[in-house]
Amino acid sequence: MPPLVTLEKHGNLGVVALNNPPVNALSHELRRTLCALLAEAFADASIDAIVIWCEGRTFIAGADIREFGKAPLAPDVPEVVELIDRAPKPVIAALHGTALGGGLELALACHYRIAVASARLGFPEVTLGLLPGAGGTQRLPRLIGVSAALDLIVNGTLVSAAKAHALGLIDAVIEEPLKEHAQAFGARVLLERRPLRRVSELVAQLDAPEQLEAYRSSIAQKHRGFLAPFHCIEAVRAAVELPFEAGLQRERELFVELMASPESKAQRHAFFAEREVAKLPGLAAETATRALRSVVVVGCGKRARALGACFAGAVPAVTLLAGTQQELDNTVAALGVSSAASVLDGANAGEGRAGMTCTLDARLLSEADLIVEASAGDVAAQRSALARFDAASRPGAILVSTLPYSDIDTIASCTGRPADVVGIHVYRGGAARIVEIMRARDTSPEVSATLMQLVKSLGKVPALVRGPVGSRMFTEYLREALFLLEEGAVPQQVDRVLHDFGFQLGPFAESDREGLDIEWNHRKARFDSLDPRARACTLLEQICEQGRFGLQAGAGFYRYDADGNPIPDPDLEALLVLHSKDRGVVRRTIPDHEILERCLFALINEGARVLEERVAARPLDIDMIWIHGYAFPVYRGGPMFYADQLGLAGVRDAMLEYAAQTRAEHRTPAPLVERLALGAKGFYAAP
Ligand code: CAA
């Protein structure tokens, strides 16, 4: 293994190079070696200035997150940073790649900072539920002003080298190769006898006395539920109100508080889960993939358009296959895509959105590398569509089903090549970062790997599962919410409770947005397998039968104004009262904590079943699907992580109590919850 840090002499310049792949994180061993070599360079009378730069793809991307939560080992990052600040000779940070967090803090302690044009700089700590804890909140406002510093620290925004230069964060944007130009810059600093410019000696001032309070109010809604953004503001307050040393101390106190907070633990869990989710055990990283040059999405509806738009960014040719001339005309008009009378003949009509075309020419199926069924509304229609694609397409083409609730094994079995069949589910019309890839029993690893790679190339996070996960759990969550309506709650109360927990939308507003027909169709398809209480809770069909299909229809669980804002609806409340009466249920006032627990425990319980049936391989797959697919609050880590924080014994006991109280036998804890609770374990491990 090459050394983590080296010191080379080039004339009277000392060049310190860090080499800790993949991202030069400030691990303990690196910090120790760096301090030793810096001390050596400071003491060496033949070295007049020092350049710090990094080998590999990036400058330091921050503290080593894997060390968080463990006992800190000296020297810690603040010690390294302060050592550089006090250096007796100029120290220059030469940046490339991403200079982040502790890496940028180290650079801020240097006396000069230069970067290549492609470098990006920032403080992403807030996304880990933290604040820059090695002087970043004290130095940045001193260097670039309070307003710009708040923007970077509180939002975790990365800036380009050019923007950093304009802000005064760096002294120059330099040419590549970095090492040579950094040395030339160092030589210039010496030649021009430039002073030791210590950022710690500058003064940070507010633009107006009420600036911090105004800023706090301006971000209150956006950062609702998070702790770190507000602690960041307090740290910046220390930079303007306290001397530098006292400010550092205040920053440390706030950092330590955040590090111990449940919010940060959850956000750090999410950081690693997001990287882990794409590495599935059982699917080797080197699995071969198939080339995807052309995708045909069959259909022109909401689902088809969303999928087409997603793929258009990554695949050279994406075509929506319309069923009728009317569909073709509507799509061309709505999306601004080009129409193609016959794509195979190259008869494209007009310029449209890059990479996307719409056609009626089904012969295109024979040329496609990937065919996506996005028009059929039920499993039978999907099956016959995939059988048709099987016959029409060339060997090796991948066939994709997109029904959110479909049993992918049943669908794959209608083709003669189940190894080529896979399901996908995008959330929020393709806007969500997660994509569920559902492999069938016989889907080949190559096909799974191809889809995983495609999703990654879209900048999204792929979760490889054995069947529907997010939608299946949502059904149980909504079912419990409907029981609550039957017992006495109203949609706005349930939604408020879940919104206060941290969801953007509660279950009813979420269902209205997605369209109630989806859940209704699913309910109809599995009606015979429902338990008696679920069958008797007919609220969904009563609402849909009135044409209240949700936001698009102008009414669902709410009524919607012209701007799409939900309005509680007395007609719906009358329907609820009547339904409860018909069912012989005496409506009662349901406390908020009961609403919260019953909805969340229904979600967690179904997640446990999904794990037990191996539909999802790991709890982190479920957490990622819920954080990205349903905006489960990231500062709670996802439903399975959150359950572990609550303790599964408590979850189990509460479920049993609610089951007894509401005579809801269906709500018995899943066997996995029972087993883990008995063993005092969590979904992730023993607590
Ligand atoms: N510590 C430890 N490991 C890290 C890391 C860090 N700061 N940053 C990234 N890694 C690891 C990732 O976990 C991943 O590991 P695996 O290959 O084992 O999965 C590997 O490095 C590569 O990371 P990515 O897959 O994310 O690579 P990328 O090229 O897509 O992105 C990156 C690179 C932009 C640096 C991105 O990894 C990133 O944003 N990292 C986090 C940066 C960060 O939050 N820094 C602040 C740390 S907190 C801090 O510094 C506190 C302080 O004030 C002292």
Question: Encoding tokens for residue 674?
Answer: 């029972």
For residues 185 and 194, is the Cβ–Cβ distance under 8 A? no
Ligand 1 atom closest to the CA of 275, numbered from 1: 19
Tell me the pairing of strands 434-439 and 348-349: unpaired
Q: Do 66 and 210 fall within a single domain?
A: yes
Residues 533 and 585: their CA atoms lie apart, in Å, by: 12
Q: Do 603 and 660 fall within a single domain?
A: yes
Name the closest-CA residue to atom 25, ligand 1.
Answer: 275
Q: Which residues have a Cβ under 8 Å from the Cβ of 542 and sit 6 or more positions away?
A: 575, 579
Find, among 431, 313, 451, 449, the residue nearest to 371 by Cα: 451
Q: Which residues have a Cβ under 8 Å from the Cβ of 393 and sit 6 or more positions away?
A: 365, 366, 368, 371, 399
**Domain with 221 in it: what CATH number?**
3.90.226.10
Name the closest-CA residue to atom 31, ligand 1.
Answer: 23
Answer yes or no: is 338 within a domain.
yes
Q: Do 349 and 385 fall within a single domain?
A: yes
For residues 425 and 471, is the Cβ–Cβ distance under 8 A? yes
Please give, one letter per residue, the 3-state secondary structure of 479-516: HHHHHHHHHCCCHHHHHHHHHHHCCCCCHHHHHHHHCH
Find, among 598, 599, 577, the residue nearest to 587 by Cα: 577
The confidence score (pLDDT) of residue 344 equals 37
Domain that residue 514 falls in: 472-685
Q: Distance, CA 185 to ligand 1 centroid (Å)?
A: 29
Q: Do 237 and 301 fall within a single domain?
A: no
Helix H or strand E encompassing 370: strand 370-373
The residue annotated as part of the active site, out of 8, 55, 125, 665, is 125
Task: At 364, give phi and psi (nearest 5°).
Answer: -60, -25
Ligand 1 atom closest to the CA of 133, numbered from 1: 53
Q: Do 514 and 432 fall within a single domain?
A: no
Return the SS3 of 3: coil
The residue annotated as part of the active site, out of 40, 79, 105, 367, is 105
The confidence score (pLDDT) of residue 173 equals 98
Answer yes or no: is 557 within a domain.
yes
Residues 382 and 283: their CA atoms lie apart, in Å, by: 27
Q: Is residue 276 exposed (0-12), middle (13-18) or buried (19+ Cβ within 10 Å)?
A: middle
For residues 44 and 52, is the Cβ–Cβ distance under 8 A? no
For residues 441 and 411, is the Cβ–Cβ distance under 8 A? no
Find, among 647, 648, 646, 654, the residue nearest to 674 by Cα: 648
Return the SS3 of 224: coil
Residues 254 and 636: their CA atoms lie apart, in Å, by: 20
Ligand 1 atom closest to the CA of 57, numbered from 1: 29
Which residues face 438 on adjacent strands?
423, 465
Q: Is residue 509 exposed (0-12), middle (13-18) or buried (19+ Cβ within 10 Å)?
A: buried
Q: Out of 238, 260, 282, pick the residue that ends a domain.
A: 260
Q: Distance, CA 566 to ligand 1 centroid (Å)?
A: 40
Q: Distance, CA 23 to ligand 1 centroid (Å)?
A: 6
For residues 200 and 138, is the Cβ–Cβ distance under 8 A? yes
Answer yes or no: is 287 within a domain.
no
Q: Distance, CA 22 to ligand 1 centroid (Å)?
A: 8
Answer yes or no: is 282 within a domain.
no
Residues 349 and 360: their CA atoms lie apart, in Å, by: 13
Ligand 1: residues with CB < 6 A are 22-23, 25, 61-66, 77, 98, 100-102, 105, 124-125, 128, 130, 132-134, 136, 275
Amino acid at 300: C
Q: Do 462 and 497 fall within a single domain?
A: no
Q: How many CB atoms lie within 10 A of CB 564?
A: 11
The confidence score (pLDDT) of residue 258 equals 97
Ligand 1 atom closest to the CA of 105, numbered from 1: 53
Name the closest-CA residue to atom 20, ligand 1.
Answer: 22
Q: Do 450 and 561 fall within a single domain?
A: no
Count of domains forming the chain? 3
Question: Encoding tokens for residue 508?
Answer: 């009813």
Ligand 1 atom closest to the CA of 276, numbered from 1: 19
Name the closest-CA residue to atom 22, ligand 1.
Answer: 22
Residues 407 and 4: their CA atoms lie apart, in Å, by: 51
Q: Mean pLDDT by 10-residue block, N- to C-terminus, for the chain (687 residues)?
A: 94 97 97 98 98 98 90 94 97 98 98 98 98 98 98 97 98 96 97 96 96 98 96 98 98 97 97 90 83 93 86 88 89 73 38 68 93 82 86 93 82 91 90 93 95 93 94 95 96 98 97 91 88 92 96 96 96 97 95 97 97 96 97 98 97 92 76 95 81
Q: Which residues have a Cβ under 8 Å from the Cβ of 555 and sit 6 or more positions away?
A: 546, 547, 548, 569
Q: Distance, CA 93 to ligand 1 centroid (Å)?
A: 20
Name the closest-CA residue to atom 30, ligand 1.
Answer: 275
Q: Distance, CA 25 to ligand 1 centroid (Å)?
A: 7
Only one residue has tokens 């992580």, namely 641
Ligand 1 atom closest to the CA of 66, numbered from 1: 2
**Domain with 543 in it: what CATH number?**
1.10.1040.50
Answer yes or no: is 270 within a domain.
no
Amino acid at 579: H
For residues 258 and 129, is the Cβ–Cβ distance under 8 A? yes
Residues 16 and 513: their CA atoms lie apart, in Å, by: 55
Q: Do 68 and 10 fall within a single domain?
A: yes
Find, among 104, 56, 96, the residue nearest to 77 by Cα: 104
For residues 658 and 533, is the Cβ–Cβ distance under 8 A? no
Name the closest-CA residue to atom 38, ligand 1.
Answer: 61
Answer yes or no: is 168 within a domain.
yes
For residues 216 and 154, is the Cβ–Cβ distance under 8 A? no
Helix H or strand E encompassing 654: helix 648-661
Q: Distance, CA 130 to ligand 1 centroid (Å)?
A: 14
Name the closest-CA residue to atom 41, ligand 1.
Answer: 61
Answer yes or no: is 663 within a domain.
yes
**Range 284-290, long-range pairs (CB < 8 A, 24+ positions):** 284/445, 287/445, 287/446, 287/448, 287/449, 288/446, 288/449, 289/446, 289/449, 289/450, 289/453, 290/369, 290/396, 290/398, 290/446, 290/447, 290/450
For residues 115 and 171, is the Cβ–Cβ distance under 8 A? no
Is residue 176 among the annotated active site residues?
no
Q: Distance, CA 86 to ligand 1 centroid (Å)?
A: 28
Residues 158 and 141: their CA atoms lie apart, in Å, by: 16
Q: Is residue 367 exposed (0-12), middle (13-18) or buried (19+ Cβ within 10 Å)?
A: middle
Answer yes or no: is 14 within a domain.
yes
Q: Do 368 and 243 fall within a single domain?
A: no
Return the SS3 of 295: strand
Residues 543 and 420: their CA atoms lie apart, in Å, by: 39
Q: Do 339 and 456 fall within a single domain?
A: yes
The confidence score (pLDDT) of residue 660 equals 84
Q: Do 521 and 670 fall within a single domain?
A: yes
Name the closest-CA residue to atom 33, ligand 1.
Answer: 23
> Which residue out of 23, 64, 138 has the highest number of ligand 1 atoms within 8 Å of its CB and is therefore the one to mutate?
23
pTM of the shown model: 0.92
Would you list the DSSP string of 67-136? GTTSPP-SS-HHHHHHHHHT-SS-EEEEE-SEEETHHHHHHHHSSEEEEETT-EEE-GGGGGT---TTTH
Q: Distance, CA 24 to ligand 1 centroid (Å)?
A: 9
Q: Out of 441, 467, 493, pick the residue that ends a domain.
A: 467
For residues 5 and 30, is the Cβ–Cβ distance under 8 A? yes
> Which residue out of 31, 65, 259 has the highest number of ligand 1 atoms within 8 Å of its CB and is therefore the one to mutate?
65
* Coarse DSSP helix, strand, coil percentages of the chain, rounded to the nearest 5 percent: 50, 15, 35
Is residue 606 among the annotated active site residues?
no
Q: Do 425 and 482 fall within a single domain?
A: no
Please give, one letter per residue, the 3-state secondary structure of 540-591: HHHHHHCCCCEHHHCECCCEECCCCCEECCHHHHHHHHHHHHHHCCCCCCCC
Q: Out of 211, 243, 260, pick the residue that ends a domain.
A: 260
Residues 481 and 474: their CA atoms lie apart, in Å, by: 10
